[in-house]
Amino acid sequence: MAVFAAVDLGASSGRVMLGRVTAGSVVLEEVARFENRPVRLGRSLHWNVTELYQGVLDGIRTVVAGLDGERLTSIGIDTWAVDYGLLAADGSLLGVPYHYRDARNDTEHADLFLRNGIAHLPFNTVYQLLQETDDRIQAAHRMLMMPDLLAYWLTGVAAGEVTNASTSGMLDPRAREWDSDLVGQLGLKADLLPPLLSPGDRIGELTPGVAQIVGADATVVAVGTHDTASAIVAVPAESANFAYIVSGTWSLVGVETTEPVVTEQARDGGFTNEAGVDGTVRLLRNVMGMWLVQESLRQWERDGVVLRLGDLLEEAAGMAALGAVVDPDLPVFLPPGDMPTRIARECERVGCAVPSTPAETIRAIMDSLAAAYARSVATAGALAGIEIDTVHIVGGGSQNRLLCQLTADATGLPVVAGPVEGSALGNVLVQARAAGVIDGGLAELRGVVRESFELRRYLPVGG
């Protein structure tokens, strides 16, 4: 049984998972979990990247310490998208990486969708780079997306990976290479962007210093370094006609295609074309996701009321639908802060029922998310020419029974929930295939998922 470490960093927490894999099964064990909290420096919001890196090192060391005569085969890293670090010529980090929720990203820019296939969001990497000061850009030798930056510190190898690079807005969606003409038009140095690897490619070995810290030598392998790309690998689909919802802080809702859909209809629908594993394309739309819940819980705690989400969901499931449905993707919901008040004000603005208790607020969020999911699933299928037969929910939201049932009801389609740790699982599966433990394409990897994990099925009411 081969052993792998999956570093899986989301926008609100990070974890290091131990994966044990045979030809037909995979077992995951969480060995470390740590918070990913942004830090405000002056007026700017940044990622606490050194704390994250320390969490990664500690997690890998914990994996190694727990091995009983086994050898750690490799390490893979996946994270959220769009954010990056700039390296000087000597390899040092130029400043602290900005957070995509920083106010500098509120600036409007030209829509590049018909060129890059990426939804026009103000925090896309291409637009963030335009906000950089001239002195930082001139001093920069390399730009590395967040998983690539962490891999660089582990190995000393500065390389990019195509699934996360695709979210930058600077990748040619068909050639899956940097769009050099666009990079030049932006006034960026041609060699600022790193050479690109594909999922399964070897990045390098741990540096001697890192190997000493973690207690072992190991290879770092490029996986689908965008966490959504890894999560889609772990969707336990049996047919090609599926839609997926990767449910976490953000919800990513879409379908898997073989070619990008770069049309005005896709652009107007807010869809994006991100590179997937094995040459696939993730035609998807960002929906705000559990961020609404997380910020609500934080606000109630600031108000001195500590509530358990499980209790709120149970109470919300027992009540009739309030008719309190808002668009969760409105810009007003993007920043941190008093989410319950903003939801109530939006309900009042659109003329629907206004939630008055925490449970009612949670029910309004669940109904709003399910409605947004249904719209996105239907539109994705139409854009791609796919008659969707099943919706798969992976990630933390797959444990939310109320949300899963409401999604089945809203879409009118069966919902298959699980696995929970989709990103870490896809991360491990790509590593295992690179090591020769598993053979085949995505269909075979997904078959391993179906054999290894218990899945829950929800049918629409009356279906």
- CATH architecture of the domain with residue range 2-227: 2-Layer Sandwich (3.30)
Averaged pLDDT, 292-316: 97
**Active-site annotation, residues:** 227
Residues 349/351/354/360 CA torsion (nearest 10 deg):
-110
**pLDDT 10s digits, 332-349:** 998 899 999 999 999 999
Amino acid, single-letter form, for residue 3: V
Averaged pLDDT, 277-283: 98
Q: What pLDDT does 434 receive?
A: 98
| CA–CA distance, 400 with 103 (Å, rounded to integer) | 32
Token readout for 410 is 């809203």
**DSSP E strands: which ranges in 36-155?**
39-41, 44-46, 72-78, 84-87, 142-145
Closest CA to 173 of 287, 285, 286, 283: 283
Q: What pLDDT does 463 receive?
A: 54
Amino acid, single-letter form, for residue 268: D
| CA–CA distance, 421 with 404 (Å, rounded to integer) | 16
Token readout for 357 is 């208790």
Averaged pLDDT, 215-235: 97
Question: Is residue 195 very low, low, confident or very high in pLDDT (cuts 50, 70, 90)?
Answer: very high
Q: What pLDDT does 416 receive?
A: 98
Amino acid, single-letter form, for residue 309: L
Question: Is residue 108 very low, low, confident or very high in pLDDT (cuts 50, 70, 90)?
Answer: confident
Closest CA to 443 of 229, 238, 198, 255: 238
Token readout for 376 is 């996105």
**pLDDT 10s digits, 372-398:** 999 999 999 999 999 999 999 998 899
| CA–CA distance, 184 with 253 (Å, rounded to integer) | 33
**pLDDT 10s digits, 262-273:** 999 999 999 999
Question: Considering Cα of 121, then 124, then 127, then 128, what sign does the dihedral take?
Answer: positive
Token readout for 257 is 């295609």
Closest CA to 199 of 236, 164, 154: 164
| CA–CA distance, 64 with 334 (Å, rounded to integer) | 39
Is a pLDDT exceeding 60 seen at residue 28? Answer: yes
Q: What pLDDT does 11 receive?
A: 84
Averaged pLDDT, 350-369: 97
Q: What pLDDT does 56 receive?
A: 98
Q: What pLDDT does 250 receive?
A: 86
Task: Establish whether domains 2-227 and 237-418 are of one fold.
Answer: yes
**pLDDT 10s digits, 77-90:** 999 999 999 999 99
Inter-residue contact 325 to 367 (CB < 8 Å): yes
Which distant-in-sequence residues (6+ apart) come within 8 Å of 74 by Cβ?
4, 5, 218, 219, 220, 221, 431, 434, 435
The DSSP 8-state label assigned to residue 93 in this structure reads: B
Percent pLDDT > 90 in the chain is 91
Token readout for 63 is 């994996």
Q: What pLDDT does 148 receive?
A: 98
| CA–CA distance, 440 with 449 (Å, rounded to integer) | 13
Averaged pLDDT, 340-359: 97
What is the DSSP pairing of strand 84-87 with strand 171-172?
unpaired
The DSSP result for 273-288, as a single string, is EEE-GGG-EEEEEEE-
In order of 112, 298, 382, the CA distances from 339 in angstroms are: 31, 9, 33
pTM to 2 decimal places: 0.91
Q: What pLDDT does 444 receive?
A: 96
Q: At what angle do helices 358-384 and 291-302 cross, to 10 degrees?
A: 160
Task: Give the domain 237-418 fold.
Answer: Nucleotidyltransferase; domain 5 (3.30.420)
Percent pLDDT > 70 in the chain is 100
Bond before 419 cis per omega within 30 degrees: yes
The mean predicted confidence, pLDDT, of the chain is 96
* Domain range annotation of the chain: 2-227, 237-418
Closest CA to 164 of 197, 132, 122: 197
| CA–CA distance, 147 with 8 (Å, rounded to integer) | 9
Token readout for 398 is 């797959």
Closest CA to 309 of 359, 348, 273: 359
Q: What pLDDT does 462 receive?
A: 65
Q: At what angle do helices 358-384 and 339-350 cross, to 10 degrees?
A: 70
